[in-house]
Structure 1
């Protein structure tokens, strides 16, 4: 079997507003994940794009109209072992 695996770096958001978690539902045309599953908002990072730019693009949708733009949070400090 000669299956070619393609890798694409992606960025996903944990979006919380008023103690509600934003999830998206995958379309029936999803080529990667099982269609219809609930998923974190996000997607593939385009060549030359930064992760925060990809998330901003993915989060601009009719569902967010009238809301302030998302703002990135700094990553948590690395755990010390």
Structure 2
């Protein structure tokens, strides 16, 4: 993704929250966004590495990128049409 678009993507800080809260809060936040909008999720819950990709597949969102960070994970999600 070009740098000018990367800067306009919101970051949702879910650090310190444990399963199932990161998925529940991500679901609520994405529900309020328009289809095609993108959101970075930042988590510290080790289970998010499994839960967030599964949530995206189940809910019809696209997981565009995932990164391991020193304290957890970052996920770039594109809101699906559903």
TM-score by length of 1: 0.27
Say which structure is richer in helix.
2
Say which structure is richer in strand.
2
- Larger C-alpha radius of gyration, 1 or 2? 1
TM-score by length of 2: 0.27
